[in-house]
Amino acid sequence: MDEYIKERREKQDLFWPLVKPLPGVIKLVEHLKSHKIPMAVATGSIRRNFELKSAHLQDLFGAFGKNIICGDDATISKGKPAPDIFLVAAKALEKQVGEGDVDLVEAIVQRERSHGLVFEDATNGVQAAKRAGMKGARDLPTPGLKG
């Protein structure tokens, strides 16, 4: 197992600097920043890997300033699908979101959490966002459509 992890890391390290953002991401982040929408990154990646993946993308990740939370940060006690990383990210934005799953907190905290919008690429992350009581991009109503 250790040999596999070592070999995988060496191979991944060669490709991290080649990672490109999905189409439209830079434009979206620039738009949100220009409208002073509070933003954070909450990634399950360890900080070492995040920095390798993002060092060449500072036009994108520079917009988040210090609001980048990684899965191995000391403030994260449980990884996704637990809601912890999204709650830590919200607290970095100075939001009063409490602790634990959304169904365990009072209504005022639930309302605050419901203002959070999460863009996620993995099932565990979607589950974590729902457990945090935050909306995912797919949870939003589409203009012109009912439901």
pLDDT in tens, 60-119: 999 999 999 999 999 999 999 999 999 999 999 999 999 999 999 999 999 999 999 999
pLDDT in tens, 119-139: 998 899 999 999 999 998 666
Q: Looking at domain 2-137, which of 1.10.1270.20, 3.30.450.20, 1.10.490.10, 3.40.50.1000 is its CATH number?
A: 3.40.50.1000
Q: Which of 46, 24, 39 is nearest to 116 (CA)?
A: 39
Q: What is the pLDDT at residue 49?
A: 94
What is the domain partition of the chain in residue ranges?
Answer: 2-137
Can you tell me the distance from the alpha carbon of 26 to that of 50, in angstroms, rounded to the nearest whole number?
Answer: 17
